[in-house]
């Protein structure tokens, strides 16, 4: 069973929340930068601009990802989410590079900061807002199994740490008068952003490569099969993959050749129901085979011609 219409609407609402938060915090951070002239605060605002671009793309991709399966896309459109999170990761990387360039320039050409108190107050407000939205998005992303929402939440968490770092750097400048602290903090922010961007891109590529279920879900799958797989019943060619919020599981179930079709069918129904209970968003495909037929043991590899495993 795939995501419900209610889940799809919930994912879209959370994506709009992310975009609204990005617009609001961007305005706050631009005001803080305009007041202080801090390159650290400029880097913070640039990261939020990237976040806004990512949130806008996420809304578009989620609109596609939540469409029901159709004739041209019988397995659904869930992988659109990986494109979204991958592009957001790339945008984060580009933002990190831009921040590093601005920081190096400010190191070479120092500039005194102004109205530091007002700028710090605005930065603190932006951090609190981003933290609240990040918590909501992460909880929603995990509950709805949305990689796009989780990527947006991770970006917002990074944004919070960025703002706190900038806050500390600008505060240090105010206390010590050392102007080089501001661009140095910006460089540290850039390194953190680059690390986050690489992680998001890596997860997106993994999703597009038809990766198996994560270890915790594989263990849940194995536990769901245990009550049904005991001599003489066997299972092989067990495969799984992720596609956005959807999970796909396939397997071959081997039973004695003298079983009736009805008996085999009832077993498969129980197995599929157990897997769907353990993995609510899973689509389960089972294939019944006779235990004593040698060809049943030549049907294990993804490409049957490559499978010549002898019967055990």
**Residue 110 to residue 183: CA distance in whole angstroms:** 9
Closest-CA residue to 55 (of 193, 158, 153): 153
Considering the domain architecture, whether residues 220 and 89 belong to the same structural domain is answered as no
CA distance 197 to 162: 14
Portion of the chain with pLDDT greater than 70, in percent = 92
165 and 243 in a single domain? The answer is no
Same domain, 174 and 280: no
Range 209-231 average pLDDT: 87
What average pLDDT does the segment 133-142 reach?
Answer: 87
Domain count, the chain: 2
Q: Residue range 277-302: average pLDDT?
A: 84
Which of these three, 150, 177, 208, is where a domain ends?
208
Nearest by Cα to 91 from 61, 56, 123: 56
Q: Is the pTM of this model over 0.95?
A: no
- β-partners of residue 239 are 250
ω into 31 cis (within 30 of 0): no
41 and 139: one domain? yes
For residues 273 and 145, membership in a common domain is answered with no
Chosen domain end from 208, 230, 246 = 208
Query: How many CA atoms, within 13 angstroms, populate the side-chain half-sphere of residue 195?
Result: 11
Of 156, 180, 208, at which residue does a domain stop? Answer: 208
Q: Indicate if 102 and 56 belong to the same structural domain.
A: yes
Largest CA distance in the chain: 87
pLDDT digits (tens, 9 = 90+) for 13-53: 887 888 888 889 889 988 988 888 887 777 778 777 777 77
How far apart are the C-alpha atoms of 48 and 63, rounded to whole Å? 23
Question: 180: buried, middle or exposed (CB in 10 Å: 19+, 13-18, 0-12)?
Answer: exposed
What pLDDT shows up at residue 20?
87
The parent domain of residue 33 ranges over: 5-208
Most confident of 100-114, 155-169, 242-256, 260-274: 260-274
The answer to whether residue 312 is domain-embedded is no
Does 230 share its domain with 187? no
The CATH number of residue 88's host domain is 1.20.1510.10
């Amino acid at each position: 069973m795939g995501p419900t219409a209610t889940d799809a609407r919930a994912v879209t609402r959370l994506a709009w929340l992310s975009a609204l938060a990005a617009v609001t915090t961007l305005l706050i951070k631009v005001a803080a930068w305009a007041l202080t002239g801090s390159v650290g605060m400029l880097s913070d605002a640039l990261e939020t601009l990237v976040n806004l671009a990512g949130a806008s793309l996420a809304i578009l991709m989620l609109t596609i990802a939540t469409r029901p399966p159709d004739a041209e896309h019988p397995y659904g459109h869930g992988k659109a989410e990986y494109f979204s999170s991958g592009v957001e990761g790339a945008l984060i990387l580009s933002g990190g590079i831009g921040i590093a360039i601005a920081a190096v320039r400010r190191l070479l050409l120092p500039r005194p900061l102004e109205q530091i108190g007002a700028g710090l107050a605005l930065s603190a407000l932006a951090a609190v807002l981003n933290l609240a939205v990040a918590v909501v998005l992460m909880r929603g992303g995990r509950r709805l199994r949305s990689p796009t929402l989780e990527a947006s939440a991770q970006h917002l968490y990074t944004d919070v740490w960025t703002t706190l770092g900038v806050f500390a750097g600008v505060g240090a400048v105010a206390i010590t008068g050392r102007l080089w602290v501001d661009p140095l903090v910006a460089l540290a922010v850039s390194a953190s952003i680059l690390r986050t961007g690489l992680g998001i891109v890596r997860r997106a590529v993994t999703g597009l490569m038809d990766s198996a279920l994560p270890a915790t879900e594989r263990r849940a799958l194995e536990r769901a099969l245990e009550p049904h797989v005991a001599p003489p019943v066997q299972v092989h060619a067990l495969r799984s993959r992720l596609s956005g919020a959807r999970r796909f599981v396939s397997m071959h179930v081997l039973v004695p050749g003298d079983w009736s079709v009805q008996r085999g069918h009832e077993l498969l129904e129980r197995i599929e129901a157990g897997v769907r209970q353990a993995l609510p968003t899973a689509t389960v495909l089972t294939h019944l085979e006779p235990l004593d037929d040698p060809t049943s043991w030549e049907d294990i590899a993804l490409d049957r011609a490559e499978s010549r495993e002898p019967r055990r």
